[in-house]
Homo-oligomer: A and B are copies of this chain.
Amino acid sequence: MSETNLTSERPKPVAGKAPRRSSKALDWRAALETEAKLSWLFVDIHRLFSKDFEARTKALGMTRVQWRVLFTVDRIQGGLSQTELADITEMEKAPLGKILDRLEEGGWIIRKNHPTDRRARLVYATSKIEKYADRLAQAAKATFAQMLQGVRQSEVRELIARLEKLKRNLGGADD
């Protein structure tokens, strides 16, 4: 979309600066290119996936991360403390608290005081999700379908297994 019109008239490199590329400098660049490409794919796919999903749910004002938290709260019934929720969603407690603030403002969840631990607040999904579950699930499925065009189910499972290995290598939890 955003083509530039500067290419043809870009000035020559600044005098005295052009020949500074040493062979040593070339080395580390070349060695990193392939792996750097891999590592940025994670960011890029995440960004594109979120963009697609949030475009489909714009009317509900639901972000991808809010959906992750809400989905978890709704999946695990019985009231979760925020610390438990942070463990499960692998988020820090501070950003989780803010996301819960927004979900509570939107009427998706409620927080109740823990009956015995006065520090803790238990998080419950409200009935609102029942009304919108289909739309949210449809949006998620549509984005998945978009991403996984032409990818066989067996490939998806293999991909998950490999990515989980990378995650474990980096010290991530196993789910």
Chain A residues in the interface with B (C-beta under 8 A): 2, 4, 6-7, 9-14, 17-18, 20-21, 25, 28-29, 31-32, 34-49, 52, 68, 71, 74-75, 77-79, 81, 83-84, 86-87, 90, 114-117, 120, 122, 124, 127, 130, 133-134, 137, 140-141, 144, 146-151, 155-157, 159-160, 162-167, 169-172, 175
Q: Given the interface contacts A40-B68, A41-B167, does A78 sit within 8 Å of B12 by beta carbon?
A: yes
> Once the chains bind, are B44 and A172 in contact (CB under 8 Å)?
yes
> Once the chains bind, are A172 and B45 in contact (CB under 8 Å)?
yes
Q: Return chain B residues, CB-CB under 8 Å to A120.
A: 6
> Once the chains bind, are B6 and A160 in contact (CB under 8 Å)?
no
Report how far A114 CA is from B36 CA in the complex, Å. Answer: 30
Pick the contact of A41 from B52, B87, B160 — CB < 8 Å? Answer: B160
> Once the chains bind, are A81 and B29 in contact (CB under 8 Å)?
no
Count this chain's copies in the assembly: 2
Report how far A46 CA is from B7 CA in the complex, Å. Answer: 32
> Once the chains bind, are A150 and B165 in contact (CB under 8 Å)?
yes
- The prevalent SS among residues of A at the interface is helix
> Once the chains bind, are B134 and A148 in contact (CB under 8 Å)?
no
**Which has the most chain B C-beta neighbours within 10 Å: A141, A148, A167?**
A167
| A-B pairs with beta carbons under 8 Å apart, 13 shown | A6-B117, A11-B78, A25-B130, A29-B71, A38-B159, A39-B46, A42-B45, A45-B163, A48-B167, A48-B172, A147-B170, A148-B169, A149-B169
